[in-house]
Every structure is written in structure tokens, then in C-alpha cells.
């Protein structure tokens, strides 16, 4: 079929990735979809999706989750989208594109957004069975299928962004994973030697093997034509039955080459500052296939978006140019934050470095500072919380000392810097080049009052998402500056904060969620059922205050049961295949051999997967819901109780062996850890709580990465608070030192109850300590000096909790009515869930998960489904 241009000019877009979709949106914003026929030729069997988040498929996301294509948008703007039908040839003289299907499309303007392809080193064996690239959804499906049936050890060639993600994916599929990187460090483009070392330590601790400074010389192939290993440039060999190449990408410019368009010496379609090809003014190129006027091929999505905007503006006869882009990036690799911005490697003449490094915590922060104090760039590994603010300050002299920008909270001068200190010209969203001034204008001029409204108005925060937190802070600050009362209510049901609801429940002795909603909820929420935000939050408040207000502290009693999320509802952790994990409490990590035997026997009899956790406990995975009471009964009979791994409550108090066994120990850390865990077990709080007790300053229990941590001294105990070893690591701050046993317990009682009283929902102590006005100094004044006169009340609340503690597992197995909930199907209680299945692995078992459910329906079905939704 030949489409000929008539009165309506035609724009043909070749390629429908992230940049291509942004180009379509830019056309629509300028009204060009109403004045032009727009045709899109898409090679992949599905419309544009978020390729940056590709690895999230292995954590449960679907194609629909990552789709960036609103089919209603496509239909509304009359865009002709042909999926699975790429362009094959371009006839520039006739101004026609021929698709693989044979259809021919005449164009007035042609836009090439063909992206890039994975580079596979030309090594022998690269095409053997078991060799893959890591670029598309189809690649992931093929990798998963092969890993499930034919592979146990995987090797990834390339230690950059995609290489690390690929290695994480292989590990998630159950393979032993290796990373081979030719450069002397991981992510050599983004981080320096120090950052690479911190990243290496963290990744190796996750169980991945890293080989840097070596290249791949040959893929070893077995007699059946499948991969059996790799030969490396240092002469060593690596056994592997799967190889994933992730050694960079190259511009997909063959279509342009065949059409006679100029390309760069190292690839890329040559374009000018308007993104027109230098060969043909009717042809544009954007994204990873384009060689920009500054001689660079940009491999990040933000420059691609800017090029898409430039091309659309030029087609609309608006003035626009692309002269370069910010290469700053913020990534989360295998759960580790990695960010770089500006002149991260300090290439500017006569610049200085400000460096903070903590190898134990996997933290590395470096700022590059000019002689005049200008922030030139930086690198953040392990904690990129300040990325948004630092990137926006690049090119200016920060209003605080450089040291305060990289030191952990509670260290250094104490100077802190928030987004409100940024100048209006500072770029907040680099994906869409949105400045602080534009965001402020969205609030003050366009009357946006929420982050979603600002996103819609400015597009800020709709790209990689790394700026969303800063965006929220700016919106709130601008609203308050404008005299607008900011709604800080817990949710749409309550105008009060969690802290205010806590005080209401305590003062009025309110014992039910419905009573609280009917008496203190927003007018239009009273008499309703509440929402998924406030129900678990209020349930936590009621549970933590239960003894003081005369309520039942058992979370499955009456109304309380309906307020709980899935984990609390079944007193166990729901896993990805629909089974549950059971974690008995092992106070302080101390356990007698007889109890170890009981756990082993239970795991064997119920076919459970067992794993020793970082918190010195034993997880048992794979229990079906109807098996939970049977497992608990045997554990309770053996003297175990719930470890509360499912609750927002105390998880563990980790310990070293202390002075009892260790020649360096100065106090009995095991006894103290057991005493603290038994005292605070079952304490419901805004978020989970973790603790540790170290018997000396060598800190083997890692107490300074916990919500409250204790370190022994020759004179007693030092108490640290507000630590976090999770996705955003934070060193705990010293609250008090050289405490006696009684003083230590009293201060922890006060600290925990003050946190529970004043924290927001789902707020860890680390975040709370940095948010609460006055920070650590204020907390110290309250819980140590009793500046508010509430310490007696805090101690009384904790004493009531300790006195009324009951084991939830034991409560449940002794109540036939409660046991009735533990079935997969209410109408068929004896029928197990058929979805819960397992396969053997390493003498145990793992979930037998089906291949990723990714639809392959044609465009017409997608449009129909969108309309139905």
C-alpha cells in the first residue's frame, strides 16, 4: 500500500522508544498532530516502554507497568502506530519509507529515532547457544527461559550500568553470577577509583563475583554448541553456561547509511543544532542514533528528550536548538544508589576534592570544588539523598561549606542545605530541563497545589523520578510562602497528621478505627470505610497504645484484623509466589542446639527453604497459608514465639559474643541484646525497628547502622540512635555515653516511645531524626533532659507495653475462630493454592514462577483494551 501526501503534510517517525514517544508528545503539545498526519513505525512487538527500568521485570513488574504509551493518547491524536513493522528502506529523492510489511509511506518530514544496539565484542564463540544481549523485553524473556532450564552459572561481559543490572537479574534468577569488566573498576564512566571501590565492596557482599581489569578473549563452546565457559585476557578461565553481553551500545544508523545520510566516523547520524540531518533538511535524527552538533552521541534518556523537544519545535517553526546536555545520572544498581553530576572526575584545571568515605558502610561521596568555591561536580555511592540539591547547585558557590554537603547528618558543622536555598535558575528535573523557577511558577501562577498537578503542568518528575522528593519540598515551600495552608493530613480521610491522631487516641482513649474516623475524620469521610493509607497507620497507633487505652493489643481481634495489610493479616511475610515465610524470634541470635534441631525438623517436614538472615535469625520460606498454624504450633510447643518479621515493629537485636567469649569484649553484649529484644518485642511502631549490641568498639554487631544501637565501653554503654543500613544508609548519632544498664534501658524506653509518638507513617527513625525540628539536639533534650516533662509518661507507656505483651502466634493457634482465616479459598478450605509451586535448587527448593506474563496482542487489541479500561 502506498500512502501519498495530500493537503495534509505527513510526519513519519521511525522508532518508538522512550525518545520517540516524547517526540509524539511534543508534537501534540504544539498542535502538530492536528495539522499533520503522523505515522510511527515501531520495530518491537509493543509500543514504547521504560527501557531504563527494564530490570524491574525480574522483581514482578509487567509490560503494562512499564508502558509509556497511553493508547488513548495515540487514538485521540490520530497517530498511526504500526508495531512490529520497522522501516526497511528510505528513498530520500521520492521522500518515501518502505516498511517490512511492504507498506510505503510518503513523508514531508522524516524523524529517525532508531536508538542503539548492544555491542558484542568480536570474540570467538560469541554466537553460541547460551549467549545473549540485554536490551529489550524479548531479551529478558529469552534469558529467563534459558536460565530456568539450561544454566546455573552466568557471566556478564561489561561492568557498566546495564552490566550490573544484568548480573543482578541473573542472580535473581538463581544463577551464580560473575561480572567481567575490562576497565580497572566498575562503572568507569560514572565513578572514579574511590567510588568504584565502594561499589565493588557492596556488590561482592551481595554474592556476585567481580573480575576487573580483564577482557574476554573467547567464549568456550561445548560439543553440543552451547556455552561452557570464558577465556579471559589474563590467561584464566571462567566456568559459565550462560553469557550476557552488556559491553556498551552503538548507534543504530544503518538505515540512514543506506539512504546516503552522513554519519560520524564512530557512528551516529550527523545532525545540526536543530536535530536536522546535515545531509537532508527534511530528515531529523534524535536520541541514541544521533551524532549531535557538538560531536557527541548521547546515551542517556534526558538528552534524548531534549532532542525530541528541539525537533518538534523546529518542525513547528519555533526557535530551538540542542547544543549539549547535562550528563548527570542517578541510578539504583542492585539496590545501591550511584550518582554522578557535573565534572565528576575533576578534569577542570586546579580543582579540589572534598571526599567522605566509609568502606564499612559502602559509602563514598566526592565533591569537585573550584578554587573560587564553585561546585563543579561530584560522585555519590551508597547514599544519593542529596543528589537533587547538589546537581542543581553545580556551577554555583554553595551557601554552606562543601564538607557539610557530604558528611552524614550529625557530623561536621551541622549546616544543612535544602531545596529552598537553590536559585530559581537551578535545574531540578534534568530529564525535562525544568528549573526551580518553573516549578515555583506552576504553584504561584498556574495554581498547582500538589506534586501530581505540578508534574502534569511542567513534566518535572515524570522522567527518571530522581527529583520527585525535591519537587515535593519545593511545592510545599512555595505554597507556604504564598500563604496557602498546606494540607498535611494523613490522607483524604483525616486532616490530622499521624502524630496528632496519636495524641487524640491517647487523650480520648479511643479504641477503634471506626470511632476515630466518625469523630475526627474529615466531614466527607465520616461514616465511610476509610482508605488503605490510614487503616494500617491507625491500626499501628491503636496497637502501640493498646495497654494504655484499654484496647486489645492483638492485631487479629475484631475490627483490628480488617485494618491490617496482608503480612499482619496472616502474621507471616507474603513472598513473590504466594507462599509465606515464617521467622521465629531468636533473641540476640543465641539459640540452643535443641531448638536448632526443631527448626530443622519443621523445615524438613514441611519442605521449607531455610536461610540464615543478616539479623541472626532463621527464615523458613515456602509455607502455604493453611500450613502456618501447624508450623506455629510446633514452634510454640518448642518454646519459640513470633519474630514479628511481618510487622512494623521490633525485628531483631543483633549481638556479637561479647566479653563472655571474645578477648576484646568489655561487656556482656549477648545478655544485653536478649534483654532488649525481649523487652521491646511486639512493639508496634511507624516503621520496622532494628537494633544491635556490640561488646566493644570493634563494633562487630554493626550497632551504628541500626535504629538504636548499643556499644560497650569500659565504663558502661554508649547509645546511638537514628541509624539505617538499608537503601539510604545513615550512621547513627551518639545520644548518650557510659550508661549503666538501668540508664540505658530507661533512655531507650523514652527514645522509642517519643519516636512512636511523633513520627509520620512509614517513617524510619533515620528520616524522623533528620526531619524533626531541632534534630538530634531536640531529641536529646526531650529524652535525656526531659525538657518537655513527658519522660514519666513515655516510661509508663513502655512499661504498660512490656507488662501486656502476648505472643501473636500462641494467641492465634489457641483461638479456633481466628484459625478459620488461614485458608487459600474460603469456599474450599481444604484446597491448597495451585499457584504455589516449587522446583529443587542447591538441595533445597525455590519458587517455580511462570515466564514473565507479557502480552503480545496487536495494536487493535491494545486500543480496544485501553478503551475498555
Q: Which residues are annotated as a binding site?
A: 656, 662, 696, 700
Q: Which three cell numbers stand for residue 615?
A: 539479623
Q: Are 244 and 132 in contact (CB under 8 A)?
A: yes
Question: DSSP 3-state assignment of 746?
Answer: helix
Nearest to 797 by CA among 588, 557, 507: 507
CA 151 to chain centre: 28
Distance CA 513, CA 537 (A): 10
3-state SS string over 49-105? ECHHHHHHHHHCCCHHHHECCCHHHHHHCCCEEEECCCEEEEECCCCEEEECCCCEE
Q: Are 616 and 643 in contact (CB under 8 A)?
A: no
Distance CA 713, CA 672 (A): 13
Question: DSSP 3-state assignment of 647?
Answer: coil
Beta-carbon contacts of 231 under 8 Å, excluding residues fewer than 6 positions away, are: 216, 217, 218, 220, 237
Q: Which three cell numbers stand for residue 582?
A: 515464617
Distance CA 168, CA 150 (A): 18
Q: What is the DSSP string of 485-547?
A: PP---SSSS-SS-HHHHHHHHHHHT---HHHHHHHHS-GGGTTS---TTHHHHHHHHHHHHHH
Q: Are 516 and 505 in contact (CB under 8 A)?
A: yes
Question: DSSP 3-state assignment of 712?
Answer: strand
Cell 554493626 appears where? 702
Q: Which three cell numbers stand for residue 707?
A: 535504629
The helix or strand, by DSSP H or E, that contains position 766, with its residue range, turns out to be helix 765-771
3-state SS string over 130-165? CEEECCCHHHHHHHHHHHHHHCCEEEEECCCHHHHH
Distance CA 755, CA 767 (A): 11
Cell 501526501 appears where? 5
3-state SS string over 786-852? CCCCCHHHHHHHHHHHHHCCCCHHHHHHCCHHHHCCCCCCCCCCCCCCCCCCEEEECCEEEECCCCC
The strands making up 80-83's β-sheet, listed across from edge to edge, are 80-83, 37-42, 10-14, 109-112, 283-285
Distance CA 54, CA 424 (A): 34
Distance CA 723, CA 705 (A): 4
Q: Which three cell numbers stand for residue 392?
A: 542543581
- Residue set of the binding site for siroheme: 700
Distance CA 806, CA 83 (A): 59
Alpha helices in 407-497 (DSSP H): 436-444, 451-458, 468-481
User: Longest C-alpha distance within the chain, in Å?
Assistant: 90
Cell 513472598 appears where? 575
- Residue set of the binding site for [4Fe-4S] cluster: 656, 662, 696, 700
> What is the C-alpha radius of gyration for the chain, rounded to an integer number of angstroms?
30
Distance CA 674, CA 672 (A): 5
Distance CA 845, CA 579 (A): 13
Nearest to 419 by CA among 492, 483, 476: 476
Amino acid at each position: 500500500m502506498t500512502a501519498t501526501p495530500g493537503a495534509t503534510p505527513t510526519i513519519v517517525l521511525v522508532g518508538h522508544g522512550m525518545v520517540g514517544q516524547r517526540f509524539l508528545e511534543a508534537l501534540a503539545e504544539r498542535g502538530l498532530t492536528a495539522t499533520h498526519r503522523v505515522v510511527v513505525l515501531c520495530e518491537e512487538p509493543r509500543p514504547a516502554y521504560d527501557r531504563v527500568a527494564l530490570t524491574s521485570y525480574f522483581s514482578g513488574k509487567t509490560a503494562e507497568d512499564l508502558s509509556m504509551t497511553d493508547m488513548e493518547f495515540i487514538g485521540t491524536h490520530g497517530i498511526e502506530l504500526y508495531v512490529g513493522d520497522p522501516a526497511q528502506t528510505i528513498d530520500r529523492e521520492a521522500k518515501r519509507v518502505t516498511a517490512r510489511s511492504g507498506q510505503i509511506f510518503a513523508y514531508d518530514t522524516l524523524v529517525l529515532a532508531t536508538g542503539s544496539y548492544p555491542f558484542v565484542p568480536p570474540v570467538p564463540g560469541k554466537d553460541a547457544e547460551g549467549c545473549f544481549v540485554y536490551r529489550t523485553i524479548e531479551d529478558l524473556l529469552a534469558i529467563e527461559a534459558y536460565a530456568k532450564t539450561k544454566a546455573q552459572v552466568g557471566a556478564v561481559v561489561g561492568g557498566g550500568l546495564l552490566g550490573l543490572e544484568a548480573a543482578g537479574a541473573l542472580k535473581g534468577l538463581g544463577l551464580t553470577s560473575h561480572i567481567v569488566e575490562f576497565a580497572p573498576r566498575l562503572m568507569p564512566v560514572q565513578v572514579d577509583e574511590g567510588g568504584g571501590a565502594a561499589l565493588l565492596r557492596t556488590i561482592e557482599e551481595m554474592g556476585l563475583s567481580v573480575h576487573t581489569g580483564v577482557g574476554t578473549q573467547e567464549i568456550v563452546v561445548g560439543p553440543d554448541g552451547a556455552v561452557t565457559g570464558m577465556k579471559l585476557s589474563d590467561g584464566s578461565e571462567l566456568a559459565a553456561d550462560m553469557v550476557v553481553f552488556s559491553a556498551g551500545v552503538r548507534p543504530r544508523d544503518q538505515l540512514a547509511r543506506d539512504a546516503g545520510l552522513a554519519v560520524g566516523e564512530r557512528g551516529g547520524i550527523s545532525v545540526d543544532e536543530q536535530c536536522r540531518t546535515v545531509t537532508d533538511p527534511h530528515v531529523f535524527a534524535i536520541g541514541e542514533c544521533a551524532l549531535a552538533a557538538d560531536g557527541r552521541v548521547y546515551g542517556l534518556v534526558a538528552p534524548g528528550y531534549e532532542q525530541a523537544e528541539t525537533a518538534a519545535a523546529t518542525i513547528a517553526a519555533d526557535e530551538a536548538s540542542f547544543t549539549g546536555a547535562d550528563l548527570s545520572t542517578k541510578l539504583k544498581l542492585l539496590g545501591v544508589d550511584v550518582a554522578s553530576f557535573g565534572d565528576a572526575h575533576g578534569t577542570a584545571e586546579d580543582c579540589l576534592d572534598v571526599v567522605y568515605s566509609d568502606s564499612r558502610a559502602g559509602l563514598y561521596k566526592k565533591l569537585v570544588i573550584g578554587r573560587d568555591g564553585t561546585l563543579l561536580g561530584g560522585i555519590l555511592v551508597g547514599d544519593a539523598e542529596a543528589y537533587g540539591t547538589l546537581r542543581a547547585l553545580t556551577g554555583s558557590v554553595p551557601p554552606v561549606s562543601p564538607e557539610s554537603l557530604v558528611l552524614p547528618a550529625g557530623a561536621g558543622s551541622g549546616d544543612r542545605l535544602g531545596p529552598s536555598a537553590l536559585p530559581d535558575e537551578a535545574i531540578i528535573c534534568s530529564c525535562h530541563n525544568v528549573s526551580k523557577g518553573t516549578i515555583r511558577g506552576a504553584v504561584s501562577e498556574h495554581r498547582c497545589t500538589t506534586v501530581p498537578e505540578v508534574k502534569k503542568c511542567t513534566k518535572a518528575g515524570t522522567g527518571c523520578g530522581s527529583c520527585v522528593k525535591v519537587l515535593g519540598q519545593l511545592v510545599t515551600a512555595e505554597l507556604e510562602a504564598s500563604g496557602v495552608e498546606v494540607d498535611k493530613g494523613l490522607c483524604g480521610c483525616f486532616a490530622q497528621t499521624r502524630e496528632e491522631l496519636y495524641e487524640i487516641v491517647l487523650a480520648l482513649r479511643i479504641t477503634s478505627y471506626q470511632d476515630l474516623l466518625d469523630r475526627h475524620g474529615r466531614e466527607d469521610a465520616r461514616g465511610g470505610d476509610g482508605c488503605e493509607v490510614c487503616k494500617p497507620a491507625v491500626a499501628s497507633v491503636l496497637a502501640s497504645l493498646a495497654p494504655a487505652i484499654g484496647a486489645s493489643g492483638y492485631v487479629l481481634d475484631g475490627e483490628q484484623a480488617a485494618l491490617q495489610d496482608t503480612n499482619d493479616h496472616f502474621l507471616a511475610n507474603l513472598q513473590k509466589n504466594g507462599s509465606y515465610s515464617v521467622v521465629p524470634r531468636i533473641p540476640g541470635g543465641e539459640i540452643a542446639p535443641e531448638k536448632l534441631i526443631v527448626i530443622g525438623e519443621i523445615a524438613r517436614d514441611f519442605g521449607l527453604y531455610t536461610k540464615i538472615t543478616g539479623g541472626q535469625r532463621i527464615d523458613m520460606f515456602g509455607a502455604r497459608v493453611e500450613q502456618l498454624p501447624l508450623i506455629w504450633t510446633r514452634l510454640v510447643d518448642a518454646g519459640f514465639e513470633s519474630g514479628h518479621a511481618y510487622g512494623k515493629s521490633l525485628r531483631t537485636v543483633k549481638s556479637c559474643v561479647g566479653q563472655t567469649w571474645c578477648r576484646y569484649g568489655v561487656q556482656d553484649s549477648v545478655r544485653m541484646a536478649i534483654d532488649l529484644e525481649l523487652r521491646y518485642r511486639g512493639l508496634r511502631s511507624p516503621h520496622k525497628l532494628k537494633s544491635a549490641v556490640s561488646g566493644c568498639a570493634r563494633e562487630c554487631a554493626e550497632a551504628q547502622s541500626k535504629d538504636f544501637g548499643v556499644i560497650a565501653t569500659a565504663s558502661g554503654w554508649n547509645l546511638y540512635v537514628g541509624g539505617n543500613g538499608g537503601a539510604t544508609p545513615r550512621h547513627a548519632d551518639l545520644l548518650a555515653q557510659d550508661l549503666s544498664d538501668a540508664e540505658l534501658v530507661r533512655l531507650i524506653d523514652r527514645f522509642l516511645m517519643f519516636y512512636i509518638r511523633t513520627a509520620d507513617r512509614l517513617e524510619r527513625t533515620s528520616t524522623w531524626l533528620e526531619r524533626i525540628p531541632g534534630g538530634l539536639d531536640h531529641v536529646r533534650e526531650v529524652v535525656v533532659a526531659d525538657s518537655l516533662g513527658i519522660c514519666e509518661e513515655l516510661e509508663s507507656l513502655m512499661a504498660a507495653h512490656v507488662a501486656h505483651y502476648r505472643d501473636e502466634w500462641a494467641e492465634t493457634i489457641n483461638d479456633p475462630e481466628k484459625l478459620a482465616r488461614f485458608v487459600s479459598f474460603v469456599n474450599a478450605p481444604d484446597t491448597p493454592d495451585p499457584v504455589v509451586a516449587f522446583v529443587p535448587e542447591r538441595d533445597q527448593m525455590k519458587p517455580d514462577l511462570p515466564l514473565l506474563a507479557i502480552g503480545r496482542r496487536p495494536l487493535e487489541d491494545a486500543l480496544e483494551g485501553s478503551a475498555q479500561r
